[in-house]
Amino acid sequence: MFSTTEMPSPSSLFTAFASITASIMFFQSMLNQILPKQVRDYLISFVQNLFKAHTPMLTFVFNEDNELGGRNQIYYAAGVYLETLLRGPPKTKRLNVSKSPKEIKGLIFRLEDGETVTDLYDDGIELQWRFVCSKPEKGNSNDNSEKRYYELSFHNKYEDKVSNSYIQFVLDRAKAISEEKRVLKMHTLDNSYKGIGWKSINLDHPATFETLAMDQKKKDDIINDLNRFVRRKELYKKVGRAWKRGYLLFGPPGTGKSSLVAAMANHLKFDIYDLQLANVIRDSDLRRLLLATGNRSILVIEDIDCSVNLSDRIHGEEEKKLDPNNHDKNSIAGTFLTLSGLLNFIDGLWSSCGDERIIIFTTNHKERLDPALLRPGRMDMHIYMGYCTYEAFKQLASNYLEISGDHNLYGEIQSLLGETEVTPAQVAEEFLKHENADSALEEFAKLLRKRKMEGSDECDAKTDEKKWQVC
Ligand SMILES: Nc1ncnc2c1ncn2[C@@H]1O[C@H](COP(=O)(O)OP(=O)(O)OP(=O)(O)O)[C@@H](O)[C@H]1O
Ligand SMILES: [Mg+2]
């Protein structure tokens, strides 16, 4: 039992607390003055490590190379993933910054030797990453290469979670980030002494769905269709269909068919294979070229009506009727290329050899296409790209002239666009001629008025889409 005389009074307690606090502050400021910052940092980390030594930590090490001498995927994924953690407030003191030639957009940030970065996963699992680059020991002449690895340290109670889910999360994120930063490729045909093959260049086409001038509803339909397609891997597998989708783009020249192909590639981050069929003579070459295309790619065959002799297929049938000894000349391996050969191969072997394939045909003349191409189920979506509508015009005015609101000429332009045929390419060209938005619109309205006067005998633009689709 305490007697009242032994109990310290509240005022003496407060005095003692105040004097202890004052002493701590005094020593702290004295230490700050005496010890340089580096020494203080060292002492702090020493004390922290002392405590850490008693925490049951586990460390995973990811070497650059795996046991078999190949690339360790986790090591490379960690480099890519950790970059996202280095963007916040600068806790890491030294970063390695580089720029790769052309394959990757932007700068590449990596941890420097000995630097650490902390990640938080699943609402509270703290994980510390450290990059180590160990120099070879002197005198060890057998192996004088640097050893690079990442250490991942965490409380050992999370071992299962880290092994079973966090590492996969890092791999998935790294894949998505690399895909995002990758510069797309455009593959075109190359006729060398080895035969016909693909050569690739960086695809730097600026067209996107935002810049594309077309009716919003149509744009949304295409975007949704593409997104649905890439999401549905499992469904395609379940129903036993090859994971491919075909689009037929048709309409007059300069209405944005090629721009739409580029916008699709930029949206999906798919490479483009531009198959100029006029340069492919034999069926066997076509097969080889198609089999050499990569996954997650768009195969484009522009102006399909001009590229192959579309009547070949029909002629072939007729010739066969006339001369029974001439067995279908289209199907003899190594013989000349025909549309039926192309379609059969695309529907059959090719699409089952890869994943996430998109095939696009473009044409200015849908009416000239072989019925085989238009048969239901062959091309999943037929997209008409038509003359400039008022909505598309406003999009172009916003892209080229930076007009976002209304303009006093818009009313007149809207009614003139309903009565004349002008392609988005012509609108864009007209806008590019002028520095000033008002004069650009003035001149454009003038052009439309002139067109209206001249074009009274031409077909009505309003019925144009119907005309194209009926064909
Ligand atoms: N719908 C559009 N939206 C935005 N720009 C367009 C559109 N249509 C055409 N353009 C502009 O016109 C140029 C030509 O368009 P594009 O090459 O895409 O037309 P196309 O339909 O493929 O023509 P062609 O049938 O002759 O191949 C593009 O570079 C682009 O600047
Ligand atoms: Mg084109």
Counting atoms of ligand 1 from 1, which one is nearest the CA of 425?
A: 12
Q: Which ligand is nearest to the CA of 263?
A: 1
The verdict on 267 and 194 lying in the same domain is: yes
* Protein residue whose Cα sits closest to atom 26 of ligand 1: 253
Q: pLDDT: is 236 or 199 the higher one? A: 199
The mean of the pLDDT values for the chain is: 81
Among the ranges given (65-74, 420-429, 430-439), the one the predictor scored with the smallest mean pLDDT:
65-74
Residues near ion ligand 2 (Cβ under 5 Å): 257-258
Asked if the structure places residue 262 within a domain, the reply is yes
Regarding whether 413 and 351 lie in a shared domain, the answer is no
Residue nearest to ligand 1 atom 13, measured at CA: 425
Cα(275) to centroid(ligand 2), Å:
13
SS3 per-residue string spanning the chain: CCCCCCCCCHHHHHHHHHHHHHHHHHHHHHHHHHCCHHHHHHHHHHHHHHHHCCCCEEEEEEECECCCCCECHHHHHHHHHHHHHCCCCCCCCCEEEECCCCCECCCEEEECCCCEEEEEECCCEEEEEEEEEECCCCCCCCCCCCEEEEEEEEEHHHHHHHHHHHHHHHHHHHHHHHHHHECCEEEEEEEECCEEEEEEEECCCCCCCCCCCCCHHHHHHHHHHHHHHHHCHHHHHHCCCCCEEEEEEECCCCCCHHHHHHHHHHHHCCEEEECCHHHCCEHHHHHHHHHCCCCCEEEEECCHHHHCCCCHHHHHHHHHHHCCCCCCCCCCCCCECCHHHHHHHHHHHHHHCCCCEEEEEEECCHHHCCHHHHCCCCCCEEEECCCCCHHHHHHHHHHHHCCCCCCCCHHHHHHHHCCCCCCHHHHHHHHHCCCCHHHHHHHHHHHHHHHHHHHHHCCCHHHHHHHHHHC
Among candidate residues 356, 349, 347, the one with its CA nearest the CA of residue 233: 356
Tokens of 186: 């455009």
Position 368 in a domain: yes
The ligand whose atoms approach the alpha carbon of 395 most closely is: 1
266 lines ligand 1 (CB under 6 A): no
Is the CB of 306 within 6 Å of ligand 1? Answer: no
Q: How far apart are CA 82 and CA 77, in angstroms?
A: 8
Residue 366 resides in a domain? yes
- 256 Cβ closer than 6 Å to some ligand 1 atom: yes
Taking the C-alpha atoms of residue 247 and residue 224, their distance in angstroms, rounded to an integer, is 14
* Closest to 82 in 3D by CA, of 63, 109, 61, 106: 109
**Axis crossing angle, helix 73-85 with helix 167-181, rounded to the nearest 10:** 70
CB 363 near ligand 1, within 6 Å = no
Say if residue 44's pLDDT is above 90.
Answer: no
Mean pLDDT of 258-282: 92
- Tell me the CA–centroid distance for residue 256 and ligand 2, in Å: 7
Q: Which of 210, 255, 394 to mutate for ligand 1's pocket (most ligand atoms within 8 Å of CB)?
A: 255
pLDDT band at 309 (very low <50, low <70, confident <90, very high): low
For residue 293, how far is its CA from the centre of ligand 2 (angstroms)? 21
- Residue with CA at minimum distance from ligand 1 atom 11: 425
Q: Give the chain's domain count.
A: 3
Assess if residue 18 is contained within a domain: no
pLDDT number for residue 394: 94
Domain with residue 251: its CATH number is: 3.40.50.300
Question: What's the CA-to-centroid distance between 398 and ligand 2, angstroms?
Answer: 23
Confidence at residue 371, expressed as pLDDT on a 0 to 100 scale: 84
- The residue behind tokens 């005095």 is 15
Residue 8 placed within a domain: no
316 lines ligand 1 (CB under 6 A): no
If one residue of 209, 259, 306, 433 were mutated to test the ligand 1 pocket, choosing by the most ligand atoms within 8 A of its CB, it would be 259
Q: Same structural domain for residues 160 and 70?
A: yes
In a domain? residue 27: no
Compute φ and ψ for 249, nearest 5 degrees: -105, 125
Structure ipTM over 0.95, yes or no: yes
Q: How confident is the model at residue 273 (pLDDT cuts 50, 70, 90)?
A: very high
The verdict on 375 and 419 lying in the same domain is no
Distances (CA, A) of 99 to 103, 189, 204, 281, 427: 10, 30, 18, 42, 39
Beta strand pairing call for 185-192 and 271-274: parallel
Per-residue pLDDT averaged across 369-386, rounded? 87
| Res 469: pLDDT | 42
Q: Residue 361 — very low, low, confident or very high, per pLDDT cuts 50/70/90? A: very high
Tokens standing for residue 306 = 């001009």
Tell me: do 232 and 338 sit in the same domain. yes
257 lines ligand 1 (CB under 6 A): yes
Residue 40 Cα to ligand 2 middle (Å): 66
Predicted TM-score (pTM) of the model is 0.71
Range with top average pLDDT, 67-71, 124-128, 456-460: 124-128
Which among 258, 395, 468 is the best mutation to test ligand 1's pocket, defined by most ligand atoms within 8 Å of the CB? Answer: 258
Q: Is 79 a pocket residue for ligand 1 (Cβ < 6 Å)?
A: no
Bridge partners, residue 461, by sequence: none
Give nearest CA residue, ligand 1 atom 31. Answer: 425
Report the nearest atom of ligand 1 relative to the CA of 252: 25
| pLDDT at position 92 | 64
What pLDDT, on the 0 to 100 scale, is given for residue 234? 83
Q: How far is the CA of 225 from the centre of ligand 1 (A)?
A: 21
Query: Who's near 352: CB < 8 A, 6+ residues apart?
Result: 242
In angstroms, rounded to a whole number, what is the distance separating the alpha carbons of residues 368 and 97?
Answer: 55
85-140 confidence digits (pLDDT tens): 887 666 667 888 888 766 667 788 889 899 999 999 998 899 999 999 987 766 65
Atom of ligand 1 nearest to the CA of 253: 25
Are 368 and 240 contained in the same domain? yes
Distance (Å) from CA 137 to ligand 2 centroid: 61
Ligand with the closest atom to the CA of 424: 1
- The end-to-end CA distance of the chain, in Å, is 106
Instruction: Check whether residue 408 and residue 374 sit in a common domain.
Output: no
* Most confidently modeled range among 24-38, 66-80, 87-101, 410-424: 410-424
Mean pLDDT of 456-462: 46
Q: What is the mean pLDDT of residues 440-462?
A: 76
Same domain, residue pair 198 and 296? yes
Ligand 1 atom showing the smallest separation from residue 364 Cα: 25
Same domain, 254 and 174: no
Q: 246 and 350: one domain? A: yes
Calculate the dihedral angle through the C-alpha atoms of 326, 331, 337, 343, rounding to the nearest 10 degrees.
140
Q: How confident is the model at residue 263 (pLDDT cuts 50, 70, 90)?
A: very high
Q: Which of 25-29, 171-175, 325-329 has the highest mean pLDDT?
A: 171-175
If one compares 349 and 159, the residue with the highest pLDDT of the two is: 159
Domain of residue 253, residue span:
185-317+333-384
The answer as to whether 305 is a domain residue is yes
User: What atom of ligand 1 comes closest to residue 260's alpha carbon?
Assistant: 18
Do the strands 116-121 and 185-192 form a parallel or antiparallel pair, or are they unpaired?
Answer: unpaired
CA-nearest residue, atom 24 of ligand 1: 253
The verdict on residue 46 lying in a domain is no
When pLDDT is cut at 50, 70 and 90, the band that residue 310 belongs to is very low
The model's confidence at residue 255, banded by pLDDT at 50, 70 and 90, is very high
In contact, 226 and 264? CB cutoff 8 Å: yes
Q: Which ligand is nearest to the CA of 218?
A: 1
| pLDDT at residue 326 is higher than 70 | no
Measured CA to CA, the distance from residue 200 to residue 273 in angstroms comes to 9
Q: What is the mean pLDDT of residues 307-316?
A: 49
Indicate if 286 and 354 belong to the same structural domain.
Answer: yes
- Whether residue 428 has its Cβ less than 6 Å from ligand 1: yes
- Judge if 236 and 287 occupy the same domain: yes
**243 has pLDDT over 70:** yes
